[in-house]
Amino acid sequence: MSRLADRLAVVLVALGAMLWGTDALFRAPLLRHLSSDRLVQSTQLVLMEHVILVVCSIPLLWLARGQIRRLSGRQWAAIAAIGVGASGLATVLFTISFGYGHFIETLLLQKTQPLIAIVLASVWLRERLTPAAWGLVPVALIGAYLIAIPDPLHPQNAWADFHIAAALFALGASALWGAATVFGRYALADVSFTALTGLRFTTALPALAVVLLLLGGPAAFTVYRVTDAPLYLGLALLPGLLGMLLYYRGLSATPAAMATLAELAFPITGVLVNVFLVTPRQTITTYQVVGIVVLWAALAFLDRLNARRPAVLRPRPVAAAA
C-alpha cells in the first residue's frame, strides 16, 4: 500500500488540493455571522477551524511523540513557518481576499504559487525539474487559467470589479503557501506526514489566538454560535484535516517543485461546487471544462514521471540534522 501511495504521490497532492476547494461551501456562510471588520472576521473563522483541527490532531501527535522529541532547531523553525505562516497567516489573508466577493481574482492570483515554490525549492532543497517536467509547467498553468477565467478570450471582464487590496492579500497567501510547500518537503525527511499535519495546526493556533486578541480584544472570542458547529466541523475535517493528510502523504514522495504544480487542481472543486451545490447555481463554460481536462492531463503525465522513481525522502542522520 505504501509503495502504491508513493507511485500515486502527485495524484494524492492534487486530491488534497481539490478538497481545499470545497471550503467555499463552509467559509461563505460562516463569514456572514462574524465581525464586520474583514481582518477580524477572517481571523475569527480560521481560529475556530484550528481549534477543531488541534483537537483532532492530538492522537496523531501522541503517536509521533518520539519523532517530535528528536527534531532540531532548524526543523522546528521550518514547521513553525508552515504553521504560523501558511496555516495561520496565509489562510487569514486568503479569507480576507475571498471576502471581497471577487472569487475569480482570488483564485487566479493564487496560481502564482508554483512559480514561488519552484524558485524556493531550487534554492533551499536544490531540487531541479527535469526537462520533461518543465515542459508540463506551461500546460498546467494554461489549464488552471482556463478554469479560473470563465471567458479567457475576454479576460478584462473577470477584472471588472478588481480590488487592489484583494489582489495583494491573495498574492501574500500565495507566497506563504508556496514557501510552505518547500518547508513541508524539508520537514518530511524527519517526521511522518501525519505528525507534520498535526504540528502544522498546533503551531498555528497560539499565533492566531494572539492575533485575534490584538485585533478585536476579548470580545472577538464571544461571537461564535452553537448553530454554526456543523459548518465549522465540515470546514475543519474535509478541506482541513483530510485535505492536508492527503497532501502531505503525496508530498513525502514528490519533489516540492512538482507538488506545487499538482496544487493547481485546487480550483477544480471550487468550480464544481459553484455549479452543483451553490444557490443560485452558476454555469460552467466550455473553456473551464477544457481547462479541467488539460490540467488533469498535465498532472497525469507528472505523476507518471514521478512514478518512475518516486522522490521518497530518507531521514537525515542525527549529526547532520543538528
pTM, 2 dp = 0.84
**249-271 per-position pLDDT tens digit:** 999 988 888 888 888 888 788 77
> Cell match 486530491: residue?
15
Across 177-181, 241-245, 296-300, least confident range: 296-300
User: How far, in Å, CA of 272 to CA of 203, rounded?
Assistant: 32
CB 266 within 8 A of CB 16: no
Least confident of 26-30, 77-81, 102-106, 189-193: 102-106
**C-alpha separations of 1 from 4, 7, 8, 263 in Å:** 5, 10, 11, 23
The tens digit of pLDDT for each residue in 149-162 reads: 767 777 666 656 56
How confident is the model at residue 257, as a pLDDT? 83
Mean pLDDT value across the chain:
85
Question: Among residues of the chain, what percentage have pLDDT more than 90?
Answer: 39
pLDDT number for residue 305 = 78
For range 77-100, the mean pLDDT: 87
Buried b (16+ CB within 10 A) or exposed e, 193-225: bbbbbbbbbbbbbebbbebbeebbeeebeeebe
Q: How many CB atoms lie within 10 A of CB 98?
A: 24
